[in-house]
Amino acid sequence: MLLAKLTAAERAQLPLILYDFFLFGPDHKAGVLPTAFIDFGFDPSVGLYFFWNDLFADGHNLKLRGATWGEHWIAASVDSRTRIGEDSSFAVNTSVVKRPDYAFYGVGSRSLEDEVTRYGSTTVQGHLELDIGFGHASQIVTQVGVRYRNFRDGDYDDDPTLREGARADFFEIPPGYREGYTVLYNRAVLSLDSRAPWPAPGSGVRLEVRAEQGSEIRDEPNAYLRYGGALGGFLDLNDGGRVLGLWGAVFFSDPLHGTVPFTELVELGGEEVMRGFVPGRLLGRSAAALTLQYSWPVWVQLGGMIQLSIGNVFGTHLEDFDPELLRFSGSIGIESLGARDSAIQLMLGLGSETFAQGGEITSFRFIFGTHYGF
């Protein structure tokens, strides 16, 4: 997919010297690209992304990623993926992320922007993945893997640490923070999409359902289940990529035994729902959100998007849901189309406190760079 992006850019008069500098090998199936990412309120990162398509055999693709911002901020991942037929693949993925600047505001619908604290964490994860595509843009993705996480005092600017926030009575120390955890997890995502794959006209309906079950394999016999889904309709206003969409989402996180670690709770903000909030801003046992969005083509495989959302996290199974506890999130940006890997992003976002707290805009977000999930 990345090769397709660069090939299209070459046709758009990107200097050939840049194309040949970053890509190499037979038919330019391999390459090394620099990456950088800025998300205001967090440490930035710089790194490299290496890929080699059809390595050793047709249909086998290898991706290596690494990023850092000093010895306390290190991330790396390896993804070995083999294509099975036209629309399916099998992958082996491992990753490690160590960083000191994660944000924690407490758990629940009433958390406040000015009670931000910081914690550090190391996450080591590995999984096997089967991705089966069918129909238009529909797919089933299943994973089985192991995830290890530990936690420690964080450091960013002059923000207090998570433990200092607890001592100041912002909140209690969240479940899982002191002891960390190691879970064996199983995950499945079913996406039913009536739309043809990009860049075909974007009118249609999409339903996504997801579930993940994790069980502690180290110490206490904790186990949890996360599940939920989203349903939306989309109308291509001119059959040329100017798409108006409306979709809603609900998510839940339930303990099957013991407690749910705070990093396995439902999260709003970051890269998916209510993107005007930074990652980790909203954590809870459940969540609900409604989003109106408009997207349009900008340039070669670049698109613009505006999202306006209302929603929040809540207690068990939305038991304390109240329209007065909803928040507003808005964002506008430009990003790569057609793939998450090495996606180019430029986005401005904002978010509010709950309507019961006055609905004041207190959260501001700016991201820029070449971003991908670890």
Higher-pLDDT residue of 4, 46: 46
The answer, yes or no, to whether residue 6 has pLDDT greater than 60, is: no
The answer, yes or no, to whether residue 339 has pLDDT greater than 60, is: no
**Omega within 30 of 0 (cis) for the link into 323:** no
Percent of the chain whose predicted confidence (pLDDT) is above 70 = 90
Residue 354: HSE in the Cβ half-sphere, 13 Å Cα cutoff: 17
Chain-wide mean pLDDT for the chain?
Answer: 90
Domain harbouring 356, CATH code: 2.40.160.50
pLDDT of residue 373: 41
The answer, yes or no, to whether residue 13 has pLDDT greater than 50, is: no
The answer, yes or no, to whether residue 271 has pLDDT greater than 90, is: no
Work out the burial of residue 56: count CB atoms within 10 Å of its CB; fewer than 13 is exposed, 13-18 middle, 19 or more buried: exposed
Q: How far apart are CA 198 and CA 172, in angstroms?
A: 46
* Domain coverage including residue 20: 2-371
Candidate from 39-53, 71-85, 193-207 with smallest mean pLDDT? 193-207
Q: Is the whole-model pTM more than 0.85? A: yes
Question: Three-state SS across the chain?
Answer: CHHHHHHHHHHCCCCHHHHHHHEECHHHCEEEEEEEEEECCCCCEEEEEEEECCCCCCCEEEEEEEEECCCCCEEEEEEEEEEECCCEEEEEEEEEEEEEEEEECCCCCCCCHHHCEEEEEEEEEEEEEEEEEECCCEEEEEEEEEEEEEEEECCCCCCCEHHHHHHCCCCCCCCCCCCCEEEEEEEEEEEEECCCCCCCCCCEEEEEEEEEEEEECCCCCCEEEEEEEEEEEEEECCCCCCEEEEEEEEEEEEEEECCCCHHHCEEECCCCCCCCCCCCCEEECEEEEEEEEEEEEEECCEEEEEEEEEEEEECHHHCCCCHHHCEEEEEEEEEECCCCCCEEEEEEEEEECCHHHCCCEEEEEEEEEEECCC
- CA 68 from chain centre, in angstroms, equals 19
Q: How far apart are CA 51 and CA 127, in angstroms?
A: 19
Q: How far apart are CA 367 and CA 233, in angstroms?
A: 27
Q: Are 139 and 131 in contact (CB under 8 A)?
A: yes
Work out the burial of residue 184: count CB atoms within 10 Å of its CB; fewer than 13 is exposed, 13-18 middle, 19 or more buried: middle
What pLDDT band is residue 63 in, cutting at 50, 70 and 90? very high
The count of structural domains within the chain is: 1
State the maximum Cα–Cα separation within the chain, in Å, rounded to a whole number: 61
Q: How far apart are CA 195 and CA 197, in angstroms?
A: 6
Q: Are 266 and 312 in contact (CB under 8 A)?
A: no
Report pLDDT digits (tens) over 345-363: 899 999 999 999 999 999 9
Q: How far apart are CA 64 and CA 240, in angstroms?
A: 34
What pLDDT band is residue 2 in, cutting at 50, 70 and 90? very low
Q: How far apart are CA 289 and CA 282, in angstroms?
A: 12
Candidate from 153-162, 214-223, 278-287 with smallest mean pLDDT? 214-223
Q: How far apart are CA 115 and CA 213, in angstroms?
A: 31
User: Nearest 5°: CA angle at 73, between 72 and 76?
Assistant: 130
Report pLDDT digits (tens) over 193-235: 998 877 677 899 999 999 999 999 987 788 999 999 999 999 9
